[in-house]
């Protein structure tokens, strides 16, 4: 793990790449029901599928964003404007990632959050694919590319988790 200071907050960068290493590995996440209620820690087998299986499961846009690291075009989705209460899950594996309670309008055209629903449910790594270097955010359970985290968010974290809508599935809170 590599700590990276972003503003006043620290993000821990994992050194795990996108290889199929550890496909039999277990990971610990925090489970949430669809109402956003925390169920507690859970050990899960890492979700690993073949590229052809991911292509069958996902739409083309979801595949290119979540599995190949592409970035959605800003201001083209609906989640960046969404104000409904609910939970944002990984489009690939269903892992709970963000709550609408930490969502804010960043003005960027992408859904933005000040914090994940549980730090255990995501992982980060250095992304040097474009200058300047950024911090990539991935789903801990299936390694889906979710977006990037920046140090220009609101208090209390000072972080902006700038996510690709096509990597998320919104579950509205019904109660």
What was the pLDDT predicted at 131?
85
Of 67, 49, 54, 47, the residue nearest 140 (C-alpha): 47
Residue with tokens 């299986």: 53
Q: How far is CA 49 from CA 20, 81, 115, 117, 140, in A?
A: 9, 32, 28, 25, 15
Q: What is the pLDDT of residues 24-38, one digit of tens each?
A: 799 999 999 999 999
139 noted as active-site residue:
no
What was the pLDDT predicted at 22?
57
Q: Which domain holds residue 96?
A: 2-16+25-172
Q: What is the C-alpha to C-alpha distance for residues 111 and 100, in angstroms, rounded to an integer?
A: 10
Residue with tokens 């963000």: 98
- Among the options 90, 93, 139, 162, which is catalytic? 162
What was the pLDDT predicted at 77?
93
Number of domains in the chain: 1
Q: Can you tell me the mean pLDDT for 75-89?
A: 96
| CATH of residue 63 | 2.170.150.20
Q: Can you tell me the mean pLDDT for 8-16?
A: 43
- The more confidently predicted of residues 1 and 139 is 139
Q: What rounded mean pLDDT belongs to the chain?
A: 89
What was the pLDDT predicted at 23?
61
What was the pLDDT predicted at 125?
96
Q: What is the C-alpha to C-alpha distance for residues 163 and 144, in angstroms, rounded to an integer?
A: 11
- The more confidently predicted of residues 54 and 4 is 54
Where is 5: in which H helix or E strand? strand 2-6
């Amino acid at each position: 793990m590599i700590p990276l200071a972003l503003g006043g907050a620290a993000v821990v960068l994992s050194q795990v790449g996108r290889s199929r290493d550890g496909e039999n590995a277990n990971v610990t996440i925090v489970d949430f029901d669809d109402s956003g209620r925390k169920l507690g820690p859970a050990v899960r087998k890492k979700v690993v599928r073949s590229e052809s299986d991911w292509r069958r499961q996902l739409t083309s846009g979801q595949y290119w964003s979540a599995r190949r690291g592409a970035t959605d075009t800003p201001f083209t989705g609906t989640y960046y404007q969404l104000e409904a209460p609910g939970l944002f899950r990984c489009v690939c594996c269903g892992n709970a990632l963000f709550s609408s309670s930490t969502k804010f309008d960043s003005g960027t055209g992408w859904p933005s959050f000040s914090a994940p629903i549980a730090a255990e449910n995501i992982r980060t790594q250095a992304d040097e694919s474009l200058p300047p270097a950024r911090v990539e955010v991935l789903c801990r359970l299936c390694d889906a590319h979710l977006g990037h985290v920046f140090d220009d968010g609101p208090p209390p974290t000072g972080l902006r988790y700038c996510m690709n809508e096509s990597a998320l599935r919104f579950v509205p809170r019904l109660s």
